[in-house]
Amino acid sequence: MINRNLKNVLVVSIGFLSLFTAYGGLQSLQSSLNAKEGMGVASLSVIYASIIISSMFLPPIMIKNLGCKWTIVVSMACYVSYSIGNLYPGWYTLIPTSAILGLGGSPLWSAKCTYLTIAGNLQASNDGKKGSNVINTYFGIFFFIFQSSAVWGNLMSSLIFGQASNLTDIPEEMLLYCGAMACDVITPNTTTPKPEQKLVTTLVGCYIGVGVLAMIIVAVFLDNIDQEQTSKFRGNREPFCQTFLATFRLLKDRRLFILIPLTMYSGFEQSFLSGEYTKNYVTCALGIHFVGYTMICFGATNSVFSIAFGKLAEYTGRAPLFFLAALTNLSCILALLFWRPNPAQLPVFFVFPALWGLADAIWQTQTNALYGVLFPRAKEAAFANYRMWESLGFVIAFAYSTFLCLNTKLYILLFVLLLTTVTYPIVEYGEHKNPTRPIEEGIYSKDKEANINGSTLAESSL
C-alpha cells in the first residue's frame, strides 16, 4: 500500500521529471545550439544569477504565503517561459525569459526540499522511525525519478536532430581543437552546423508541452500538507524585513558557512558537464546530435544511483559516499585533461557522463538530505541558501566559459573539489560530536493526525 506521504513524493517527483525533461534538454544544448556570440552560455549565466537574487528573499515569502504546492506550480510556469523564449532564440527573447526562470528557480527547489522534508518527518513520526532516514529515502526516490528526465529530454533532442539533412563527419583538423585543447580565445571558429530551424521548433514545442503537463500534474494531484502552517503565517505575519533577511540570518550558523564550498562545487560540476563536456568533447568530435545520447548515460546512471545511495546512506552514513563521489570526479577530471577525443573512441564519450552521473547522484541526494537534517527548524531559509550558493557556482563557471581555455577550467574544477574535501569533513565531525536534535513531534502533531486519517481513507479506497 502507498501511504499518503509517499504518494505526494511520487507526485512531486513525476512533476519535476516532466518539467526538467524540457529544461534539462535545453540546458545541455545551449552551449552548442546557441553558440553564436556565446548567447546560450550567457542565458545560462543569467538564469543562475537570477536564482541567486531570488534566493535572497523569495523562497521564504512565497512558501509561507502560498504553501509548497502552489509555490511549485507558479515556479514551474517560470521554467515554461524559458522554453517559449527558445522558440525564437535571440538576445531579446532568451535573456528576459532566463531572468524569469531564475526568479522561479530558487522558490521551486526550496519548496520541493521543504515539502520532502516535511513529508519525511511526518512519515517518520507515523512509523516511529528516525526522521533523517526517511528523509534520505524520500530524496533518493525523488532523484531516482527526477534524474531520469535527462534520459527522456536528451533522447528527444537526439532523435529529432538525428533527422537533420546537414549531418557531416568532423574533419581531422577540427579534432585538434577538441577536448582539453579547446580554447575559444585563441583557436579559430570550429562550430559544427546548426540543425534546421524546423527541427529546433519541433523540439522546443515538445519541451513546452511537457512543461505545461508538469504544472497540471502538481496542481491536480499534490496535497497541501503544510496548509495549516501557511494559514497561520498569513494570520500572524512576520515583518517583511525579518522574512527578507531569513536566508542571510542563517549564515550566522557556522555549519552553513563551512558548507559553501561543497554547495558551490555542485554548481561547478553540473555546469562543466552540461556546458563544457557537451560542447568541447561531444559536439566538437561527434556532432550536436550525439549530445543527447551521451547525456542519456548521465541521466540513467544518475537516476539509478540516486535511489541506491539514498537507501545505502542508512547503513554507511554520508561521509563514505561523499568520499566516493570526490574520488570519482577526481579521476574523471584528471583523465579529461589528457584524453584527446576522437570518433574512433566512441564508447569513451559515454563512460565519462556515466561516471559523472554516479558522482552527481551522491552530491545531489546527500547534500539535499544533509541540509534537511542540519537545519530542520529553518528549512525554507536553509534550502534557499543551498540554491543560492549552488547557483553562484553555476554563474561563475558559465561566466568564464568564453574567456578561459578548457584546461584552465578543469584546473579550477579540480581546485574547488579539493577545497570541498577539506571543508566538508569539518561539518560532519561537528555533527558527529553534537548531533542536531530532530524536529519536535508537536509541530507535526495535528498534521500527523490528519495524515493518518488521510492514509486510512486512501488505503480503504484502494
Q: Domain boundaries in the chain?
A: 4-227+245-451
Residue with cell 552546423: 193
Structural contact between residues 207 and 83, judged by C-beta atoms closer than 8 angstroms: yes
Tell me the mean pLDDT per 10 residues along the chain, length 462. Answer: 87 95 83 72 87 81 86 95 88 92 89 87 83 82 84 83 65 76 59 71 91 95 77 49 67 88 93 86 84 85 84 85 96 94 91 94 88 80 83 87 87 96 91 74 44 38 36
Q: Which residues contact 66 (CB under 8 A, 6 or more apart)?
A: 74, 230
* Interacting residues of 152 by C-beta distance below 8 A, sequence separation 6+: 17, 21
Q: What is the pLDDT of residue 137?
A: 85
CA distance 415 to 351: 23
Those residues whose C-beta lies under 8 Å from the C-beta of residue 346, and which sit 6 or more positions away, are 286
Burial 132-146 (b: 16+ CB within 10 A, else e): bbbbbbbbbbbbbbb
Q: What is the pTM of this model?
A: 0.73
Q: pLDDT at position 336, please?
A: 94
Helices (H), 317-378: 318-338, 346-374
Element (DSSP H or E) covering residue 257 = helix 254-258
In angstroms, the first-to-last Cα distance of the chain is 8
pLDDT at 460: 33
CB 357 within 8 A of CB 299: yes
Alpha helices in 339-444 (DSSP H): 346-374, 379-399, 406-433
According to the model, what pLDDT value does residue 357 have? 92
Distance CA 326, CA 329 (A): 5
| 221 within 8 A of 11, measured Cβ to Cβ | yes
Specify the DSSP class assigned to residue 401: T
> Cα 167–169–172 angle (5° rounding)?
150
Q: Which fold has domain 4-227+245-451?
A: Growth Hormone; Chain: A; (1.20.1250)
pLDDT at 185: 53
